[in-house]
């Protein structure tokens, strides 16, 4: 580089190379954080919806779908719409969520988001009575 007034132009050349690389790295970091946030959010929403549905299994899939809608309305970042599958069985409630990301065109490198959670059907009254019965049984024998 040519020196004028004792200064060289190397800093300008280095900045011209490093600033675009730093910008790309920053954008990739923001995308990764968004990807992780959405993955955690979908997993949590799937479990909470399954858990709420397991408490009231007589309300069936419509109740779980309504709970899932309510939970997903609070999402801050979103890549787009997701596919939902809700199954209320005799023993458990299963919620499956899948969502495509903008970069799924790259194939296996960046897979789409998927969350699958289930919760066993619960009868809180019977559970509490069972725990109390075990505790009383232990007191009698111990």
Full residue range of the structural domain in which residue 92 is found: 10-141
Average pLDDT score over residue span 39-48: 90
Q: How many domains does the chain have?
A: 1
Distance CA 79, CA 102 (A): 7
> Is 21 domain-assigned?
yes
pLDDT at 46: 92
pTM over 0.85: no
pLDDT at 137: 84
> Is 4 domain-assigned?
no
CB 46 within 8 A of CB 115: yes
**Proportion of the chain in helix, strand, coil states, percent, rounded to 5:** 60, 20, 20
pLDDT at 8 over 70: no
> Is 2 domain-assigned?
no
């Amino acid at each position: 580089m040519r020196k004028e007034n004792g200064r060289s132009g190397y800093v300008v050349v280095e900045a011209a190379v490093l600033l675009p690389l730093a910008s790309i790295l920053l954008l990739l970091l923001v995308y990764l954080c968004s990807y992780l946030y959405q993955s955690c959010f979908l997993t949590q929403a799937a479990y909470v919806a399954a858990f709420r549905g397991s408490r009231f299994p007589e309300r069936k899939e419509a109740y779980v779908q309504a709970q899932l809608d309510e939970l997903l309305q609070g999402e801050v970042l979103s890549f787009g719409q997701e596919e939902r599958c809700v199954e209320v069985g005799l023993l458990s409630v299963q919620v499956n969520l899948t969502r495509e990301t903008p970069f799924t065109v790259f194939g296996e490198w960046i897979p789409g988001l998927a969350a699958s959670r289930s919760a066993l059907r619960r009868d809180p009254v019977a559970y509490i009575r069972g725990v109390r019965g075990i505790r009383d049984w232990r007191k009698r024998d111990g």
